[in-house]
Chains A and B, each alone.
Chain A
Amino acid sequence: MNVSPLDSSPIEVGSELPPLTVRLTRASLVRYAGASGDFNPIHYSDHFAAKVGLPGVVAHGMLTMGTALRVVTDWVGDPAKVTSFFVRFTNPVVVPDDEDGAEVSFTARVIAVESNHVSIAIEASSGGQKALGAARAEVDLG
């Protein structure tokens, strides 16, 4: 039987990982743009976002994706145990230019366990909409 890396509860199909909620503000987007080198103006310019038909400045999909994986790496502890990670970008996370920004909530549960290999489904939502679809991470606890 597998045991959760950071506590002693057994890992089985249906086990929930500790959820995560983050607040993304314009400052978060600027920080991620600088760190990642993704300077697409839809992630900082209202003017440009409107021009391409977006409801507002949106978070980098890769920022939402990278944050979603924190649910898994916080749980597993060692990020080297992640063997694959997939997401579909469904709805962009609109980040208003105010103190509150946008809240994004992540939940995750185990959907398959085969020896040391654990498959995890992740849900991400913001403003009542799904931000990611079919998000799956695979980890090897061996």
Chain B
Amino acid sequence: MALSEAHAGRSYPPTPVYEITAAKISEFANALGDDNPAYRTEDPLAPPTLVAMVAFAAWDQMFADRELELELRRVIHADQRFSYVRPLRAGDRVTATLTIEKVRARGTTEIVSCSIEVHDQGGDVTCTAASTLVHSREAA
């Protein structure tokens, strides 16, 4: 059965632990052309949108869920929200847990709202990443 409204509430196991490093923070800040000194101290903060990198692994779990019959190349990322409890910093060991919050099906299009909680090494939520993805199926 393909993705349907019945999949609301489905969640996936936490992604493998990802350790944020100073080198990754610097690489990511450079890719954004961002010279903020906070990303280049002895104990650097991560740019707020580096969370997306952690979220990718959780999105991949959903795309790999064969029951949903999602095809990545037919997905459009419609919107994105990040809500921060605290910034990530070098040394944090984080996991991401995705939950499908809502599915709206309209003909050959499905609109999926999903939410990813990013937990730190202490089990506390550091950030929530909420996305709306639009998936178009090939007409039968």
Chain A residues within CB distance 8 Å of chain B? 22, 28, 31-32, 34-38, 40, 52, 61-63, 65-67, 69-70, 73-74, 77-80, 82-89, 134
On chain A, the residues within 8 Å of B17 by CB distance are none
A106 CB, min distance to chain B CBs, angstroms: 12
Q: Contact mask B26-40 → A, CB, 8 Å, 1/0?
A: 011011111010110
A114 to B76, CA, bound (A): 35
B81 at interface by CB-CB < 8 Å: yes
Query: Which of chain A's residues has its CB closest to B36's CB?
Result: A73
- Report chain A residues within 8 Å CB of B106: none
Number of A-B contacts (CB under 8 A): 96
- The listed residue (B31, B36, B73, B80) touching A86 by CB distance below 8 A is B80
8 A-B residue contacts at CB 8 Å? A28-B33, A35-B31, A66-B47, A67-B33, A77-B38, A80-B38, A86-B81, A89-B80
Number of B interface residues, CB 8 Å?
31
Contact check: which of A63, A66, A87 meets B79 at CB < 8 Å?
A87
Q: A35, A40, A79, A134: which contacts B38 (Cβ < 8 A)?
A: A79
Q: Please state if B49 and A65 are interface contacts (CB–CB under 8 Å).
A: yes
User: Would B83 and A61 count as touching, CB distance under 8 A?
Assistant: no
CB pair A74 B56 closer than 8 Å: no
Expressed in whole angstroms, the minimum distance between the Cβ of B23 and any Cβ of chain A is 11
User: Does B48 contact A87, Cβ atoms closer than 8 Å?
Assistant: no
Which 5 A-B residue pairs are closest in the complex by CB-CB distance?
A35-B31, A66-B49, A86-B81, A88-B79, A32-B31
Given A31, A74, A77, A87, which contacts B80 in the complex, CB threshold below 8 Å?
Answer: A87
| Complex: A73 Cα to B33 Cα, angstroms | 13
Instruction: Answer yes or no: B140 CB below 8 A from chain A CBs.
Output: no
A85 and B49 form a contact (CB under 8 A):
yes
Q: Is B62 an interface residue (CB 8 A)?
A: no
In contact, A89 and B77 (Cβ under 8 angstroms): yes
Interface centre among A69, A79, A82, A134 (most CB of B within 10 A): A79
| A63 contacts B32, C-beta separation under 8 Å | yes
CB distance from B74 to the nearest CB of A (A): 8
Contact A84 B82 (CB under 8 A): yes
Give residues of chain B (1-56) contacting chain A, Cβ–Cβ below 8 Å: 24, 27-28, 30-34, 36, 38-39, 45, 47-49, 52-53, 56
Distance in angstroms between the alpha carbons of A32 and B56 in the assembled complex: 14
Q: Nearest-CB distance from B97 to chain A (Å)?
A: 18
Q: Is the CB of B73 within 8 A of A52?
A: yes
